[in-house]
Amino acid sequence: MCQTHVLRVTAAKAPFEKASIERRALRPDDVAIDIKFSGICHSDIHSAHGDWAGGIFPMVPGHEITGIVTAVGERVKTFAVGDRVGVGCYVDSCGACEYCLRGEEQHCAKGFVATYNSLDYDGNPTYGGYSQHIVVTERFVVRIPDRLALDAASPLLCAGITTYAPLKRWKAGPGKRIAILGMGGLGHVAIQFAHAMGAEVTVLSRAKDKASEALRFGADHYYSTVDPETFNDLAGRFDLILNTVSANIDVDLYLSLLRVDGTLVNVGAPAEPSQYNVFSLIMSRRSIAGSLVGGLPETQEMLDFAAAHDIVPQIEVIRAEQVDEAYDRILRSDVRYRFVIDISSL
* 79-88: burial string, b at 16+ Cβ within 10 Å, e else: beeebbbbbb
C-beta closer to ligand NAP: residue 79 or 170? 170
Q: Which of 293, 296, 311, 320 binds ligand NAP (CB under 6 A)?
A: 293
C-beta closer to Zn ion: residue 47 or 263? 47
Report the alpha-carbon distance of residue 213 to residue 171 in Å, rounded. Answer: 25
| DSSP symbols for 54-66 | ---SSB-----EE
Q: Is 141 in the site for ligand NAP (CB under 6 A)?
A: no
Minimum CB distance to Zn ion, residue 161 (Å): 9
Q: Which of 234, 330, 340, 343 binds ligand NAP (CB under 6 A)?
A: 330
Q: Which stretch binds Zn ion (CB under 5 A): 22-30, 127-135, 153-161, 233-241?
A: 153-161
Q: Is 41 in the site for Zn ion (CB under 5 A)?
A: yes
Minimum CB distance to ligand NAP, residue 282 (Å): 26
Q: Which stretch binds ligand NAP (CB under 6 A): 65-73, 205-213, 234-242, 300-308?
A: 205-213
C-beta closer to ligand NAP: residue 26 or 203? 203
Minimum CB distance to Zn ion, residue 57 (Å): 19
Minimum CB distance to Zn ion, residue 147 (Å): 23
Q: Taking CB under 6 A as the criterion, which residues in 239-258 touch ligand NAP? A: 244-247
Report the alpha-carbon distance of residue 143 to residue 69 in Å, rounded. Answer: 10
Minimum CB distance to Zn ion, residue 92 (Å): 17
Q: Is 158 in the site for Zn ion (CB under 5 A)?
A: yes
DSSP 49: T
CA proximity to 185, closest of 330, 291, 60, 88: 330
Minimum CB distance to Zn ion, residue 159 (Å): 7
Residue 66 amino acid letter: T
Report the alpha-carbon distance of residue 139 to residue 145 in Å, rounded. Answer: 17
Helices (H), ranges, 226-276: 229-233, 251-255
Q: How many helices (H) and strands (E) does the chain have?
A: 11, 17
Residue 95 CA: distances (Å) to CA of 25, 128, 140, 321, 323: 21, 21, 11, 38, 35
CA proximity to 187, closest of 167, 203, 200, 172: 203
CA proximity to 181, closest of 236, 125, 222: 222
CA proximity to 107, closest of 14, 169, 60: 169
Report the alpha-carbon distance of residue 261 to residue 241 in Å, rounded. Answer: 12
Q: Which of 4, 38, 43, 202 binds Zn ion (CB under 5 A)?
A: 43
Q: Is 183 in the site for ligand NAP (CB under 6 A)?
A: yes
C-beta closer to ligand NAP: residue 32 or 45? 45
Q: Taking CB under 6 A as the criterion, which residues in 22-61 touch ligand NAP? A: 41-43, 46
Binding residues with Zn ion: total (CB under 5 A): 3
Q: Which of 2, 207, 281, 307 binds ligand NAP (CB under 6 A)?
A: 207
Q: Taking CB under 6 A as the criterion, which residues in 65-124 touch ligand NAP? A: none
Which helix (H) or strand (E) element contains residue 239?
Answer: strand 238-243
C-beta closer to Zn ion: residue 33 or 330? 330
Give residues in contact with ligand NAP (CB under 6 A): 41-43, 46, 158-159, 162, 182-187, 205-207, 244-247, 267-270, 291-293, 330, 333, 335
